[in-house]
A and B are shown apart, each in its own frame.
Chain A
């Protein structure tokens, strides 16, 4: 035992550039985010160009800049397709960020608004509003999203309530989320069973998820929620990063874990509620976007949260384009497209992760 201080068996030469290396890595991550944002912008332009009438990109850009001479193209781009294209971006970003935060605070890569029953809560709320539509003092275009938002919040509150129990663990929160999923799915099935054929058709279409209900006003609401919540999450970025090392280690670093988890959960419920309220149930974006972000920029949440937003926006925008190309002349429900694209993509991701392990 006398040779103890001679050096670690695997010690290598001392590096002189830890800070420089870290700064270079950060610059690389920033470049990745910018590149993804560029791709999202291209996808957005393609989203505006595709549809029953395929428009040249130049015409789309001229219409956006207010230089379009043809009033028909101007109307198609600015009135019909612009709200849908923007909605894809903001909803994708909101779902990406909320998925990233959920996966972080629950320390589980399968956590998302979909798997934790928040989307199911929103679905039940929307179905309820469709069923009692005439009784509400609001037009359907706003009453249904409001009900969806409120029930998404209720689902979050149920899960967060379990999280406030003494000795609650992230695993218990996930179980509570899964219970919530089954509860709201059962209630939704009950409503579908009781609904009239017209209401049932409306409920099913809402559940498919669709960007066609978008308007600039609704885009503004989701964008506002995103603009208000993202800075709050970014202020907690280091604390969220510490949480990745486990609750006990985060506490040892001075993080008030229970308060952070509750705060993040409330923000996530606002983000998710706002996102799914206007477009319906959209799966996989909240699950896949954070995985892509994690693979490309790591888990420093200062980079991962914006990256999840950008990749979420990119994914949903691409899905929006694909939804119009699958069957020419028909806009496929976006929720179906994200699942159809998301499942094989997720399989490819898992395959890569298993190979790397």
Chain B
């Protein structure tokens, strides 16, 4: 489901969080939204998910998305609840759930857990899982609705390196296999360079640039956006490798 956003702006009262951002994303590709804290990434994602009023035009496949077509995973949430992982994933089928749960909803939840390799956690309480397992279960929840686009707000925050790599590799696999349009807010620029097809760099609510990782992740773009001095090398596999040198101060 192709996304085209033109001149999107988001306000919180008088404060403008996103200023006239225009970007496009194609099915089967991951776009990484990167930028300093407070640069408007999460606000843009919420607007794209239809959860926040916005200026400008957001078109999914040329118009409004059908119900359930966008799977949005927010950054915040409460996981200290007495629900099993399976029940959390089943909630992803909210649009069709009834008191007597249909076999189709159960099958979709089970399939999403199997796809992400967390079926063995089905009976465990979500609060008992490790950070990485929990994140996989929450992604399975989003996938259980069979969305056509994924909007993920920091899906790898608070994960160790191994789990970061696993989550991002799985996201890439799922995005390709299902032909999803995936936008993910990422803080790790090297992970963005390695796993994203395109990188969108934001600074102070504006889109600084969007393109191939090697075109966007350069000292002259990253430096001012993050207020740091960086060096960027070419990795052995061709992806840029970002080395932070020192902070310039906010």
Interface residues of A (CB under 8 A from B): 1-19, 21-22, 25, 107, 234-235, 237-239, 241-242, 244-246, 248-249, 251-255, 294-295, 298-300, 302
* B117 adjacent to A22 (CB under 8 Å): no
B83 at the interface (CB under 8 A from A): yes
* B77 adjacent to A249 (CB under 8 Å): yes
B157 at the interface (CB under 8 A from A): no
* B163 adjacent to A9 (CB under 8 Å): yes
* B113 adjacent to A7 (CB under 8 Å): no
Which residues of B sit under 8 angstroms from A1, Cβ to Cβ?
Answer: 165, 190, 194
B38 at the interface (CB under 8 A from A): no
The proximity string for B residues 49-83 relative to A, scoring 1 for CB distances below 8 Å and 0 otherwise, is: 10100000000000000011000111011110111
Q: 5 A-B residue contacts at CB 8 Å?
A: A1-B165, A5-B173, A8-B117, A107-B78, A252-B51
* B169 adjacent to A12 (CB under 8 Å): no
Specify the chain B residue showing the minimal Cβ separation from A297.
B82
**Could you say which of B17-25, B91-99, B177-185, B217-225 contacts chain A?**
B91-99
* A253 adjacent to B117 (CB under 8 Å): no
State A295–B125 Cα separation when bound (angstroms). Answer: 12
* A10 adjacent to B110 (CB under 8 Å): no
**CB of B128 to closest CB in A, whole Å:** 10
Partner of B83, one of A241, A253, A254: A241
Which residues of A sit under 8 angstroms from B82, Cβ to Cβ?
Answer: 294-295, 298-299
* A19 adjacent to B114 (CB under 8 Å): no
With A18-B122, A234-B99, A299-B82 already in contact, the answer to whether A3 and B74 are too (CB < 8 A) is no
State A9–B51 Cα separation when bound (angstroms). Answer: 34
Which residues of B sit under 8 angstroms from A18, Cβ to Cβ?
Answer: 86, 109-110, 113, 119, 122-123
State A8–B168 Cα separation when bound (angstroms). Answer: 11
Which residues of A sit under 8 angstroms from B107, Cβ to Cβ?
Answer: 19
B106 at the interface (CB under 8 A from A): yes
Specify the chain B residue showing the minimal Cβ separation from A243.
B78
Which residues of B sit under 8 angstroms from A239, Cβ to Cβ?
Answer: 94
* B166 adjacent to A8 (CB under 8 Å): yes
* B120 adjacent to A244 (CB under 8 Å): no
Which residues of A sit under 8 angstroms from B97, Cβ to Cβ?
Answer: 238
Which residues of B sit under 8 angstroms from A244, Cβ to Cβ?
Answer: 78, 81, 83
**CB of B173 to closest CB in A, whole Å:** 7
Interface centre among B72, B91, B92 (most CB of A within 10 A): B91
* A12 adjacent to B136 (CB under 8 Å): no
B245 at the interface (CB under 8 A from A): no
**CB of B75 to closest CB in A, whole Å:** 8
With A15-B119, A246-B77 already in contact, the answer to whether A2 and B114 are too (CB < 8 A) is no
**CB of A256 to closest CB in B, whole Å:** 11
Which residues of B sit under 8 angstroms from A25, Cβ to Cβ?
Answer: 84, 123
Interface residues of B (CB under 8 A from A): 49, 51, 67-68, 72-74, 76-79, 81-84, 86-88, 90-92, 94-95, 97, 99, 106-107, 109-110, 113-114, 117, 119-123, 125, 130, 132-133, 136, 141-142, 160, 162-163, 165-166, 168-170, 173, 190, 194-195, 237
With A8-B162, A252-B74, A254-B67 already in contact, the answer to whether A22 and B88 are too (CB < 8 A) is no
State A242–B121 Cα separation when bound (angstroms). Answer: 19
Specify the chain B residue showing the minimal Cβ separation from A235.
B99
Which residues of A sit under 8 angstroms from B99, Cβ to Cβ?
Answer: 234-235, 237, 302
* B109 adjacent to A5 (CB under 8 Å): no
Closest 6 CB pairs of A and B: A18-B122, A4-B165, A5-B169, A4-B169, A249-B77, A15-B120
State A251–B153 Cα separation when bound (angstroms). Answer: 14
* A298 adjacent to B83 (CB under 8 Å): yes
* A7 adjacent to B117 (CB under 8 Å): yes
Which residues of A sit under 8 angstroms from B110, Cβ to Cβ?
Answer: 18-19
State A298–B79 Cα separation when bound (angstroms). Answer: 13
State A107–B74 Cα separation when bound (angstroms). Answer: 18
With A4-B168, A13-B120, A244-B78 already in contact, the answer to whether A300 and B83 are too (CB < 8 A) is yes
* A245 adjacent to B91 (CB under 8 Å): yes
**CB of A108 to closest CB in B, whole Å:** 11
* B88 adjacent to A245 (CB under 8 Å): yes
Which residues of A sit under 8 angstroms from B163, Cβ to Cβ?
Answer: 8-9
Specify the chain B residue showing the minimal Cβ separation from A241.
B91
Which residues of B sit under 8 angstroms from A16, Cβ to Cβ?
Answer: 119
Specify the chain A residue showing the minimal Cβ separation from B114.
A14
Partner of B95, one of A15, A107, A254: A254
Which residues of B sit under 8 angstroms from A2, Cβ to Cβ?
Answer: 237
* B122 adjacent to A22 (CB under 8 Å): yes
Interface centre among A13, A234, A249, A254 (most CB of B within 10 A): A249
With A8-B132, A298-B84 already in contact, the answer to whether A245 and B79 are too (CB < 8 A) is yes
**CB of A114 to closest CB in B, whole Å:** 23
Which residues of B sit under 8 angstroms from A253, Cβ to Cβ?
Answer: 91-92, 94, 141
State A9–B131 Cα separation when bound (angstroms). Answer: 12
State A298–B87 Cα separation when bound (angstroms). Answer: 10
Partner of B117, one of A11, A17, A242: A11
Which residues of A sit under 8 angstroms from B120, Cβ to Cβ?
Answer: 11-15
* A252 adjacent to B49 (CB under 8 Å): yes
Q: A13-B120, A246-B76, A249-B77 are in contact. List 4 more A-B contacts (CB 8 A).
A: A14-B120, A18-B113, A244-B81, A254-B68
* A10 adjacent to B130 (CB under 8 Å): yes
**CB of B49 to closest CB in A, whole Å:** 7
